[in-house]
């Protein structure tokens, strides 16, 4: 075992089942004593702040839905454990006829790990997902332009603001409003 090297492998699973698969595998690794063969199971994800109906919500967003990456020494016991786990489709392979999965390249691993550690360390500076885009019809629900209907002209995700064109005295006038001051026009 000393001459075998750990590599990172991609495992396909049902989308939305990534956490369940990781928990199952971690339990089985502890029960069967595979800690020396499987070092880490990672779901590449980031924390995203969403604004829906005027409320801020934080959620985890997977970079690669339906995939997890595993640092392991690949052999038959590891292959059997992972391939037979519930909700797992199997290892990602370059060639379908190949018996062994292709390990990720160092550059790919560094890019993925750098991306995930940055998002975990920097939770306050997370990406903000604003549910509006240019051309969307919105209704202003708060502030001096309450009850005005308008069209989103520009989105400023860094300031959490929108420039909305509203009709004032028959003229289309741009106004800047907070994202939580508007609702999608239904």
Q: What is the pLDDT of residue 17?
A: 93
Where helices occur in 75-105 by DSSP H, the ranges are: 76-83
Mean pLDDT by 10 residues, the chain (186 residues): 76 93 94 91 82 77 89 92 93 80 86 65 56 90 88 88 89 89 78
Q: What is the pLDDT of residue 72?
A: 93
Domain residue limits, the chain: 7-128, 131-184
Interaxial angle between packed helices 18-32 and 76-83, expressed in degrees from 0 to 180 and rounded to the nearest 10: 140
Residue 147 CA to residue 141 CA, distance in Å, equals: 6
Q: What is the pLDDT of residue 118?
A: 52
Instruction: Label the pairing between strands 171-178 and 182-184.
Output: unpaired
Task: Report yes or no: 92 and 9 within 8 Å, Cβ to Cβ.
Answer: yes
Give this prediction's pTM: 0.61
The CATH H-level (homologous superfamily) assignment of domain 7-128 is NusG, N-terminal domain (3.30.70.940)
CATH of 131-184, one of 3.10.20.30, 3.40.50.720, 3.50.50.60, 2.30.30.30: 2.30.30.30
């Amino acid at each position: 075992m000393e001459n075998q090297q750990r590599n990172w492998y991609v495992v396909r699973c049902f989308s939305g089942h990534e956490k369940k698969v990781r928990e199952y595998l971690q339990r089985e690794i502890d029960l069967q004593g595979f800690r020396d063969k499987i070092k880490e199971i990672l779901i590449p994800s980031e924390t995203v702040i969403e604004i829906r109906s005027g409320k801020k919500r934080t959620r985890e967003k997977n970079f690669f839905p339906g995939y997890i990456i595993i640092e392991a020494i690949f052999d038959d016991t590891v292959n059997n454990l992972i391939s037979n786990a519930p909700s797992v489709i199997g290892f990602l392979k370059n060639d379908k006829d190949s018996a062994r999965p292709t390990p990720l390249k160092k550059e790919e691993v560094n890019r993925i790990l750098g991306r995930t550690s940055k998002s975990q360390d920097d939770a306050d500076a997370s990406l903000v997902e604003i549910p509006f885009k240019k051309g969307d019809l919105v209704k202003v629900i708060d502030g001096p332009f309450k009850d005005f209907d308008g069209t989103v002209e520009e989105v400023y995700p860094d300031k959490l603001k929108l420039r909305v064109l509203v009709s004032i005295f028959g003229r289309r006038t741009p106004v800047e409003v907070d994202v939580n001051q508007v609702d999608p026009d239904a």
